A and B are shown apart, each in its own frame.
Chain A
Amino acid sequence: MKFFHFTEMPYPFVSAEDEEDARGLKIFLPNRHYDPAAGHELYRRYLDEYELADELGYDLMVNEHHQSASTLHVAATLSAASVINRTRHGRVLVLGTPLPHRSDPVRVAEEIAYLDSMSGGRIYCGFVRGTQGEVYPSNSNPVFNMDMFYESHDLIRESWARTEPFAWEGRHFHYRNISIWPRPFQLPAPPIWVSGTAPELVQWTAHHGYTLCNLTGRYNDAASTFRLYRRTATEAGLDEPAPSQFAYLAFCHVADSEDEARRVGEQLMWYLKPGRPRLGASIPPGFSTPATSVQAFRGRLGSVRRQDFSSLIDEGIMLVGTPDTVIRQIERLYEVTGVGNLILMNQAGTMSSNETRSSMSLFAHEVMPAVAQLGESWQQDDTSWRTQNDDQPISAVIASALS
């Protein structure tokens, strides 16, 4: 099992009153609440933590959101460039570039190729469709979100694969001449990761053999999504997918005592504050099917955000406790899902750098060695998620547990 350090680089200095006035921290929060000097210090601090993570043996993940105090990553590729420059060993997972929200896919192809070339092939390239609220910062039409995702992906892959200039006249993107410099260091393409739970997207990811990531879903939902991937791959005649083709993002805080881990770790709940986004930001028109939109409107989605801290620990969505506790949680995660990559949100909200560093170090020294071997000999395991043992119907996960 591999472990990635991740922070969304939150800006935690917005008052509760201002947050309430804006109905949350995302998209519609006035930026008069942003202090440039405080922001500068935060960036330095978060990059210092990435540097420490690299020294401790973690791989590293960056992402992007827009117009939000919950995330100061404004472009995953920009953050990756910063992290690459501060680190030497770890893989840098760019998860991900929200393809429907980037109007120039060729530029994305160039940026990823630059990162991969500059880092000597340390890049994992993540592509995402973007969360619901992202349609407002980019103003990209939510009806065509998936269509743009697919076309952008195809164009980027073509840009990396071709060695002679070519044209692209698609539905959403139009170019007369494409011949990118540099080419990726890892040819034909850096390893590609995709996050999502929509069945269509999961199946598409399986057909391409890309790594599928579930972000803080319930274990059963993650397991169900991964089963759909495994079944799709094997039915398509591909090899049975290894745990390395799956990733799961969990919150994490370890400490020497349960009480201390819970006391400090509870700050991770900051990330799950649901806010009260307006209808169109939580259910953009055409972003999901009408049936899924109705489910969301009826409040049947996003239940993780409504759970309390203790129940999230019990379910393992919060990996919080002593090293022994967290080792057991991760063993259960692997047993249920067969996941081989664990992305750890080691910091959220007001959690201080010392608190974050303390947990990261303890995890690296006591947890990582105990669970690193999980998935190494998966073909000898007789686990419930092996394709040969999978005889249950797959229940569709209708949307991200968070969104």
Chain B
Amino acid sequence: MGHDHNDEGTALVVLPDAFVTEGLAGALADVAGTAAAHVLHHPGRHASEPLDFDWDGMDDLIYSHLATLRAQRSGPRVFVGAGIGGWIGMEIALRAPELVERLLLVAPYGVRFGDPTQPNFADILLLDTDEVSALGWARPERARGLHLPGLPEDLDDAALEDVFTERATLAQLAWKPFLHNPTLGRWLHTIDVPVLLVRGAEDGLVTSANSAEIVRRLPDARLVEIPDAGHYPYLEQPAAFIQAVLPFINHREEEAVTR
């Protein structure tokens, strides 16, 4: 992380999910030879640096990120967003298409569909940590790379304060409507960059119907499911994940199809 271009590959902008400590950047380390990643974290992840209290919601975060990205004066790049980061990726593609060459989404939040009584997302700000783990992993005992209250069990008070700070940040950004932006949902059809949406087949945090509907509404999108993985396929099945996304990132999809 830290530099944007690599002569040998595609420049990536990585938008991590909430509560993920190593996340996409860790999983994409294998790709570093072909793609350099600029990790764009959301602010408000540390007790010493809480989110600006004046911020009302996700709009503030998007405009902050857009200011950062535009200041980098880069050409269009490949954006990789997971979970909350996937939501942010779609918002950036909608509002600043000139910055986005293609978009890799991993089980994104951000839009919801259908009957108002049917949740599209698990209530990750309500459920106990063991419940989130059970829903978020094909096999919860594999849970790693996350900081949640009580996971790992030996988090000290300072680390826990950071976790509770990030929970507050997510609430400040996305409490109501919960984890989605109805406006984004209405304009998905105008995001015309190539999109690959990857989800773990056992993801219990974002419904399969939600991910499928996003792909259906985007003009140029494809869905790939990683078997034996939950909401974090890049942590639970990193090899399969890399294999699934690498051709898309490197613009070599035909090769992947024929292999």
Contacts and interface: CB of A to CB of B under 8 A. Distances in A.
Interface string B172-191: 10011000000000000000
Nearest to B167: A285
A290 B167 CA distance: 9
B156 to A, nearest CB: 10
A346 B47 CA distance: 43
B176 A285 contact: no
Nearest to A281: B126
Contact of B168 (A139, A147, A290, A298): A290
A280 B164 contact: no
A181 interface: no
Among A136, A144, A291, A294, max chain B CB count under 10 A is at: A294
A297 B171 contact: no
Interface in B87-136: 123, 125-129, 131
A181 B131 CA distance: 50
B165 interface: yes
Contacts of A171: 56
Contacts of A281: 126
A187 interface: no
Among A141, A285, A297, max chain B CB count under 10 A is at: A285
B206 interface: no
Given A143-B175, A279-B149, A285 B127 contact: no
Contact of A143 (B149, B160, B162, B172): B172
A294 B171 contact: no
A291 B157 CA distance: 8
Given A285-B168, A294-B160, A280 B127 contact: yes
Interface residues of A, number: 22
Given A290-B165, A291-B161, A279 B171 contact: no
B161 A285 contact: no
B123 A280 contact: yes
A279 B127 contact: yes
Given A279-B149, A281-B126, A142 B164 contact: no
Contact of A139 (B131, B157, B176): B176
B47 A290 contact: yes
Interface in B46-72: 47, 53, 56
Contacts of A147: 53
Which range holds the interface residue count of chain B?
A: 20 to 34
A contacts with B: majority SS:
helix
Contacts of A294: 157, 160-161, 164
Contacts of B161: 290-291, 293-294
A230 B160 CA distance: 34
A321 B92 CA distance: 67
Contact of A285 (B56, B131, B164): B164
A286 B167 contact: yes
A278 interface: yes
A141 B129 contact: no
A47 B130 CA distance: 43
A81 interface: no
Interface in A259-305: 278-281, 283-286, 290-291, 293-294, 297-298
Contacts of B125: 280, 284-285
A297 B157 CA distance: 10
Contacts of B160: 290, 293-294, 297
A212 to B, nearest CB: 26
A330 B233 CA distance: 61
Given A136-B126, A278-B127, A281-B126, A293 B171 contact: no
A284 to B, nearest CB: 8
Among A144, A284, A286, A298, max chain B CB count under 10 A is at: A286
24 contacts: A139-B176, A142-B171, A143-B171, A143-B172, A171-B56, A279-B128, A280-B123, A280-B127, A281-B126, A285-B125, A285-B167, A285-B168, A285-B170, A285-B171, A286-B167, A286-B168, A290-B47, A290-B161, A290-B162, A290-B164, A293-B160, A294-B160, A294-B164, A297-B150
Closest 3 CB pairs of A and B: A286-B168, A280-B126, A285-B167
